[in-house]
Each structure stands twice: as structure tokens, then as C-alpha cells.
Amino acid sequence: MYQILVFLLLFPQQGNELLDAVNSERGGRHWIDQKPDPAKSPEESQACFQIEPGCRLELVAAEPLVFDPVWIDFDQQGRMFVAEYSDYPIGPVNADGTAKEGEPSLSRIVMLQDRDGDGRMDHRTVFADNLTFCHSFHPLLDGILACAQSHILFLKDTDGDGRADVREVWFDGFVAAHPQMQIGSPQFGLDGQIYLTYAPGKIVCARPGFETTEPQTMPRQDMRFDFRTMQMEPISGLGQFGNTVDNDGHRFFSTNRNPIMMEMIPEEAGRRNPFAIVSRRHTDVGPSGGDTRVYPLVAMKSNWLSHAGTHTSACGVSAYRGDLWDDDFQQSVFVCEPVGHLVTRSIVRGQKEAPEPDARRAREKADFLASSDTWFRPASLRTGPDGALYLADMYRMWVEHPKFLPPEIAARIDWRAGEDRGRIWRIVPEASSSKPHSFKAPESTRDFVAVLDDSNGWRRQMAQRVLLERNDPSCKALLISQLQSSQTSPYGKIHTLWTLQALHLLSDSDLLPLLKDSSTPLRLQAAKVAAQRAVDSDSVREALLRLAEDASPEIQLQVALAAGLRTNDASVSALKSIAQQRFTSPWFQQAVLSSSAECAGAIVSHLLRTADQTKGAQRTQLTTLLTDLAAVVGVRGDAEELGVVLNSAVDHQSVPQWASMAVLTGLAKGLPRHKGELQQKSLAALLKNPLPQTASATAAIEQLLQQSSDCILDSGRGLSERLAAVGLLSSQSPAALATATEVILSPGQPQELQSAVLQAVGGTAADTVLARWDSLGPGVRSQAISLLLARPATTQKLLSLMSAGSILPGAVDIDQRVRLLQHSDEQIRTLAGQIFGGVVSANRKAVADEYSPALNLTATAAAGALVFEKTCSKCHRIDGKGHQVGPDISDTRNRSRDALLYDILDPNRRVDPQFTEYVIVTTDGRTLNGLLVSDSGDQIVLRQPEGREQTIARTDIEELKASSKSLMPEGIEKDVTVQQMADLLEFLKAR
């Protein structure tokens, strides 16, 4: 159940006199009546900072030279450009604060210059204005590529006056959720493409000479495009404001509660195998949500739950690319936290046994930079040409968005307070001398090639971009010489390599030695370049596949992904080796799966040979991979491959029974999805009418099926074997599993086994489940209820028993009750109304009045913990207890009781898009509710209570719709008394 505390993140803070505010329909927050601090001068604000030892903060620019800065970058001449996000939060407004229609947009891009050479900017030129919600840009082609809400613009000054006289729309049609979630954060990748975050929409290209008429539908993901061809494509991940590429080529992005995220499986690889569903494609690098830690110097005020002590507005993620600090600093990734008035620093390094890097905070119990000035609003950072870090400080009183506040409270806030202010800070080593920013821009092609080997990563990237823009063939000899020189640094070779590749000047003979280089970052990028050439070059492909034995798991992952580009003996051998070495990693499982379209059977047979050597938790991980690969074999439906896999699986002399059952389970899952000419579209059909290639295995398979029935019921067998048997029987012999269900659902059986059986039988064993109701434990009961409610017929059976008094109504959670009361089936709706006492009161104000005594009752935290466990823990985690399905609520101790009460009783006032409920109706009649955590185009992943995730193929979806509400329904008062509410509030406050 998406429980009562979901809205502690989704909805605004409430004032100390909240119930009075509710009665007068004001809906205040706990800080709304507090007098805000006054704005400070730049000098006063600078005195409020605490910065990590070894660093020094310097003022670069302030009002009236700059206003509302949120994004900084430098062109190839080293000139600073700044995005002034003055449209935020709602654009031009009238005197009463309402939006003013028909007025010019307020966002600008300005150029700042230090003309007297003292290190402080002293001249301002408005490069472009009247830009609609333009919060980010990237220098390109002697101009600026700017993101402006629904389109991407190209701006250029051609007459030298510092103002853009060229203004072209390059892409149009992006759909913005709100000003914090829109197309933006463009970054230049090592491959020469431009990477951007949040790119859903129906996009047309309007760049002169590249115009398209048919829109390209982009999913709710990030994107990249090649500025030389204007080809665009979705990429894995969905970021908000912030996007960065580090020296090693990793792209990091962020969302409010996920400070550092990274793509693991490229979008094209995830979609490549038509017979598999590759559901996981990106990951958090380091802690996220309530597991993050920040240390603000002042109280955090937010329209969301304050999340004191954790990231709540993470943005502006930026990898340091300069050369002013030591090695640890070189691997730093910074994240801004404007609500907390601070900036964090994490050290991101590769791991020895996992392909994903690991991030750890640079300091214990302290942030990189924090301020006691409540107007300090860090938005993003950028490494400059001089190697220093430049920080954009929007310097506003508020950075929240009024969309998420009650209108009456939003009307009391001066959202534009600070629009006449803004600061840019420079961060340098404490011991460095104070010297003005200086940068001698390269001029000739030779100069730019040399800068590819600069110690400053910003300079290397800039030089690479300019060389691609110029497309000068004369640079080939210079680039080849630099690539082959022993004096060139590994990072210099990386940029030189990618420049040659992007300009189509690279030869195989120049690439091959790099695949053996001692530098791991260089070998990794050489492997990525090799993957782009492997289809057309036998020598490159063979050399790349030899890296299957590389010591770096990240390089091995690239090999696993590349092996699927073209299947031959060498690629299959590489996949076998990698699968054998790395099957415990979910990312290697996904990579092998993506590359297994034509060789899944061979990998399965190879893994089966050593399956008996697998012990403990590794057995479960291998079971998952075997099942998924066997499902690919089934969906593909190749007779020869089916024969190889089945005969391998029943080789009892070397294959343990649990592994055999895992393979048969996968085949049973995959065969019904076969779309080709194979007539046997189930394992049962294959046994009844075997193919010549599978006939010799038929008797052994039938024996194994019989043994599976016995295995499930044999308490002397290991749990992994019994679970494997459940998977097999669920797809092959439902009748046998139904018979076993009666025994498994009896007392004394492992809960994991009961849960697996329930998941397998679903509503088909409703009578058995209902008959055994008294024997089921709480966790299994919750799962049983969800399964019974998935189909109208079983829903009616459940409600009938409740009506008769055989099952207590309390077994159905609040959100489930609300759905039943609003069910499309009139009979179900009526019966639910009789059982649950009618519809939930729509008058939340009256409910708040009714529960107001809870604020003053004597209460105990221990009793409240029990209320939390019963009512909230399936979707929320506090102090390590519960499940993290909904938003993190780890900081409730910092909320006032009246604020908590109001939010609990009125959950649907404001719904953040990422916590909207989605409803899926499948082609087989099931109804699934949950949070949409992944929508990759070919599949949907829903996250449900207790952290369960359901992956549904697009082809299996009859209907998909988003609710206007969160998963947390109104109506908690039906299950929680006033005293219990008081206890719950005490628990939430006393932790």
C-alpha cells in the first residue's frame, strides 16, 4: 500500500496554527509566518561561508553586473557566459503576482568580462534576451546552443558587437513538466555528441538545411544529438537540472533526491535483443534519497518535506575537470543543494569487482561548502579555462515553485525577491596566489591539437569540439603523431583518439595498440571506439573481444555489450567467459542478456557445466541469469538451439536439479511469446509434440517435472531448489502447482516459498488462498489481497467473504479501499460501499477538525511505531525499517505536529509527477497499480508496495493511464483512530 506518509514529501509544510489555517482555508506552512532574513551584500554573504580546508572562495561577479545566474560556461576564447533564469518561477508577473500574458520572456544569456585584469568581472553584455525559461546552454560553432523550455536555439554574434544577431530554432516540440524538469543541461561528450536531460516530446528539427517535417517521438528520457548531422536519439536515464561528463567519459546526471546517477546500459544496447526485456539501464552512484547526508548551517525551508540532513533539491551536478588540486580532487563530483544553502563533494572511483563506480563523500559530517546566508542558492558549477571552479549563485529568497504550494500560501510569498541580485564565485586552492583569470585562446589547428593534451580537462574538451567544428583534414597527421607519441598523457590520447574517430580519420592500426595500453581509462575509451568499428573490422572485433579477460570490470562490461553487435564464435566465447566470471552482477546479467539474441542457448549450456560449483546467494543470482537466457531461447524458437538447451538441462550427471528447473522455467516463459513459425508455443506442447532436436530430452523433462512437484513439498530440500520448482511448475503444470499450493500455504512453510507460490498462482487459486486465509502470515496476506484484487472475479469472491464476516475488512488497505469504492464495476463498487462504510469524506477540512485533538493527547512513540509498521511501512522506510517505494520521509522529526497531521489527512493537494499513480490493464485481464519507474519504449516498470517491481512488455499492455492522484489515497481516518494518530505523530517526532 502506498501509505499515508507519501505526501510528507509531496505536499507543503504547514504553519504552527495549522488547524486554524485549515478552518479558514489558508493552508499555511510551518515557516510561512517566520520573518525571513534580509538579503546581504556580497561581502556580508562571503563572511557566512564555511568551505572545505584547502580551498578559498573569491567573488567574481555580483549585482548589478549579473542577476539570477544558474549556469556558467566559457567559449573557446575563454569568455564567460551566464544564463540568467529570471523567468523563474512563473515568468513575467503583474503587481499582484499573477502571470502576465503576452509579455517578453525574462531569461537572458549575458557575457561577462574582466577588462581591467583584477580578477573581478567589470563589464556586462546581454548576448541574448527574451528567452523563454532558458536555464542552460553550451558554446558551439562560435555561438551558443541554448535550451528554452520547449525548444533548442542556436544564437550567434556575427558582427562583433557582443549581441546575438542569429537566432535559429534547431529543435522544437519538447514537453516540459515544469521549470525544473525541461530540456536542458547540454554537455559535450567524448564521442562528439551533445547530451541533454529530460527530452520527452514530438520533436522536429528546424535547423536550416536539416529541416524535418515528421516529428520524432522521444520517450520520457534524456537524449543526445550529433550537431554535424542533427541525428537525435534517446539515451538511458532521466535527469533534471544538471548533467556532466568527467575525465573518464562517464556521464552523470541528477534528480532532486538522486544527486549522482549514471547510465550503465546504453539505450541502443537495451533495445537490441528482440527476444529479451532489459529493464535496468542506469543506477545511483553512491547514496540517494534518505541515505544521502548533508549538513546545512541553517534550517532548510522547502515546499516539499524539509528532508533535514539529506538531499532534497540536488541539482547542477558537475565533475571537476581542472588541474589545480591533487588526485583526490581530480575525481570529484560536486552537487548543489539550493534548499540547504550548500554544495557537496563526492570522490568517484572505479571498483575492482563491479562495473559501476562508487562515490563517497570527501568529508565526514561536513559539506564542501555551506552558508548561513539563507539567500545563498547554489545552482551549478563549472570548471573554467584556468582550472578554477565557478559557482552560480542565483541568490533568491525562494527557489521552490508555487505550483506545489496551496494557492493561498503561494500568494503570500514574494517569489521574485532577489531578482535584482546574483553572485558568481570562484573556488581555488587556498595556497594559490590571487591572480586574475587568464586564458590564451588557441588559434591554429596545430594549437588546438596540442591543447588536446592539456592538463586541464575543460581545455581538452574545448579543443576537441573546435576541431570537430572546423573539420579540417590537415589535422590528421598532427593527431596521429600525438596519438602515437609516448609523451602524450593517457587523457590526451583519449581526446585525440575520439577526435580522429569523429572525423573519420582513424585507422585500425592506430587503434589496436591502445586496446593493450597500461592505462585503464585509455583502454576503456579504446574499447568504446572499437565497439563503433567492430562490425566492419575483423581485426578490431577480435582485439576487442580479447578484453573479455581484462582486469577492469568496466571494460569487461563494454565487451559484453559490444559482443552483441555481431555474433560469431569469438563473440560467443567472450560472452560465455564474462557470464561465467561476472554473473553475480546485475549489470553483467543485463549486458549479457542484451547481446544474447543469437547465442543465449550456447551461454546457458556453458553455465550449466559449472552450476554445481555455485553456492549460497550466488546460486540465486545464477538462477536469475539462466532463467532469463532460457526465456530468450524460448522466444526465439530456434529448433536447433532448443535442442541444445534442453539436452544440456537434463544432463543429470553434471547439472544440479535447481539449475535444470531454472532453464525449463525460462523456456516455459519464453515459448508463449514466440512470434515465428514454431508450432510448439509452450513447453507442454513441445513435450506432447517434440521436435526432432528435442525428442531425446522429453522423457527426462517429464521426469523432472514430476520431481518438481515432489521438490516443492519436500521440506528437506534447500529453499533455492524449492523456489526453482515453483517457477517451473507455474508455467508448465499449473494443476500440480495448485495442488501443492494447499500444502505450501499451511503453517510452518517458509514465507519466501509461500510468497513465490502466491505470485505464481495469482488469482487462479483464489479458493485455496481464501480457504487458507487464517494460516497466512501478515506479509503473505498483503500479497494475497493484492493478487485477489487484480481481477474482478476474485475481487468479488474476497468481498463476499468480507460481507459474510469470514475475513475482516481491515485486511484491505486504505488505498485499496478507495479503488474499490471507485471501481468501474458497479456490483463491486456497491459491495465495497456496504463493507467499508461508503465513500471517503471529500471534506478534508472537516476531517482535520475531527482529528485536531490528536495534537494535544498524551501519546507514546512505541504505540506510534506499531501504527507506522501496520499502516505505513510497506511503502516507507524509517530507521532501516519498512520499504522505500514512495518518497523518503526520514526527517519527520523536523516537522511540526500540526503540519504532519494536515499532510496526512489531505494527501492529494499536490502531486509531484514522479510520484503519480499509474494504472495498467494487461491483455490477460490484470489491473496493476504503481509508480512508473521506467518507461523505455518497449517496456514499463512499475514499483509496487514492499518494493516489488513489475516489468510489463508493451505488447502485453491493453491500457496505460496516469491518475491525477498520488498512490496515497485520502481516507486514513477509516483505519486510524484519533489516539492512534496522536501516537503516530509522537513516533514521527520522537525518532
Q: What is the pLDDT of residues 482-506, one digit of tens each?
A: 999 999 999 999 999 999 999 999 9
CA-CA-CA-CA torsion for 431, 433, 434, 439, nearest 10 degrees? -120
Per-residue confidence (pLDDT) for residue 523, from 0 to 100: 98
Per-residue confidence (pLDDT) for residue 7, from 0 to 100: 30
End-to-end CA distance of the chain: 23
Q: Could you read off the pLDDT of 322-343 as tens digits, one per residue?
A: 999 987 899 999 999 999 999 9
Q: Are 415 and 99 in contact (CB under 8 A)?
A: no
Q: H or E element: which one contains 984?
A: helix 978-990
Tell me the C-alpha distance between 939 and 893, whole Å: 39
Per-residue confidence (pLDDT) for residue 225, from 0 to 100: 98
Reading the block at residue 311, the C-alpha cell is 538531499
The DSSP string of 330-389 is HTEEEEEEGGGTEEEEEEEE--SS-SS-EEEESSSS--SEEES-TT--EEEEEE-TTS-E
- Whether the pLDDT of residue 890 is over 80: the answer is no
CATH of 444-506, one of 1.10.132, 1.25.10, 3.10.28, 2.60.40: 1.25.10
Q: What is the pTM of this model?
A: 0.80
Tell me the C-alpha distance between 199 and 70, whole Å: 20
Q: Which of 94-98, 235-239, 527-531, 913-917 has the lowest mean pLDDT?
A: 913-917
* Residue 806, helix vs strand vs coil: coil
Q: Could you read off the pLDDT of 45-56 as tens digits, one per residue?
A: 999 999 999 999
Give 375's contacts (C-beta < 8 A, 6+ positions apart).
Answer: 37, 39, 40, 45, 395, 396, 397, 418, 421
Q: Which of 211-215, 448-452, 495-499, 610-614 has the lowest mean pLDDT?
A: 610-614
Nearest in space to 17 (alpha carbons), one of 745, 959, 896: 896
Residue 215, CA distances (Å) to 193, 195, 230, 939 in order:
21, 20, 13, 22
Q: H or E element: which one contains 533?
A: helix 520-533
Q: What is the mean pLDDT of residues 648-667?
A: 89
Q: Could you read off the pLDDT of 806-833 as tens digits, one per residue?
A: 888 877 876 788 788 888 899 998 898 8
- Whether the pLDDT of residue 240 is over 60: the answer is yes
Cis previous bond, 690, omega within 30: no
Average pLDDT, the chain: 86
Nearest in space to 107 (alpha carbons), one of 139, 132, 125: 132
Tell me the C-alpha distance between 442 and 77, whole Å: 8
Q: Could you read off the pLDDT of 4-43 as tens digits, one per residue?
A: 333 333 333 332 232 333 323 333 344 667 788 999 999 9
Q: What is the mean pLDDT of residues 313-327?
A: 94
- Whether the pLDDT of residue 910 is over 50: the answer is no
Q: pLDDT higher for 805 or 146?
A: 146
Residues of the chain with CATH 2.120.10.30: 42-257+292-429
Per-residue confidence (pLDDT) for residue 370, from 0 to 100: 98
Q: Are 303 and 912 in contact (CB under 8 A)?
A: no
Q: pLDDT higher for 235 or 651?
A: 235
Per-residue confidence (pLDDT) for residue 887, from 0 to 100: 62
Q: What is the mean pLDDT of residues 376-405?
A: 91
Percent of the chain residues topping a pLDDT of 70:
86
Q: Could you read off the pLDDT of 49-89 as tens digits, one per residue?
A: 999 999 999 999 999 999 999 999 999 999 999 999 999 98
Q: What is the mean pLDDT of residues 785-813?
A: 86
Give 699's contacts (C-beta < 8 A, 6+ positions apart).
Answer: none
- Whether the pLDDT of residue 770 is over 80: the answer is yes
Per-residue confidence (pLDDT) for residue 966, from 0 to 100: 57
Tell me the C-alpha distance between 359 and 337, whole Å: 17
> Is the domain covering 4-12+841-990 a CATH 3.50.50.60 domain?
no
Residues of the chain with CATH 2.30.30.100: 4-12+841-990
Reading the block at residue 686, the C-alpha cell is 513441445
Per-residue confidence (pLDDT) for residue 17, from 0 to 100: 31
Architecture per CATH, domain 42-257+292-429, reads as 6 Propeller (2.120)
Q: pLDDT higher for 305 or 141?
A: 141
Greatest mean pLDDT among 105-114, 690-699, 959-968: 105-114
For 487, phi and psi rounded to 5 degrees? -85, -15
Give 926's contacts (C-beta < 8 A, 6+ positions apart).
Answer: 762, 790, 791
The DSSP string of 859-894 is --HHHHHHHHHHHTTTT-EETTEE--SS---TTGGG
Per-residue confidence (pLDDT) for residue 948, from 0 to 100: 75
Tell me the C-alpha distance between 592 and 583, whole Å: 9
Per-residue confidence (pLDDT) for residue 893, from 0 to 100: 60
Q: pLDDT higher for 914 or 465?
A: 465
For 380, phi and psi rounded to 5 degrees? -165, 165
Q: Which of 140-154, 604-618, 868-882, 934-948 has the lowest mean pLDDT?
A: 934-948
- Considering Cα of 709, then 715, then 718, then 720, what sign does the dihedral take? positive
Give the type of residue at 241: F
Per-residue confidence (pLDDT) for residue 885, from 0 to 100: 67
Q: Which residue has the cell 523536523?
A: 894
Q: Which of 212-221, 728-737, 888-897 has the lowest mean pLDDT?
A: 888-897
Per-residue confidence (pLDDT) for residue 702, from 0 to 100: 87
Strand ordering across the sheet containing 201-205? 134-140, 143-148, 151-156, 166-174, 201-205, 216-218
Q: Go through the chain and tell me how many residues it has.
A: 991
Tell me the C-alpha distance between 318 and 365, whole Å: 21
Residues of the chain with CATH 1.25.10: 444-506
Per-residue confidence (pLDDT) for residue 988, from 0 to 100: 81
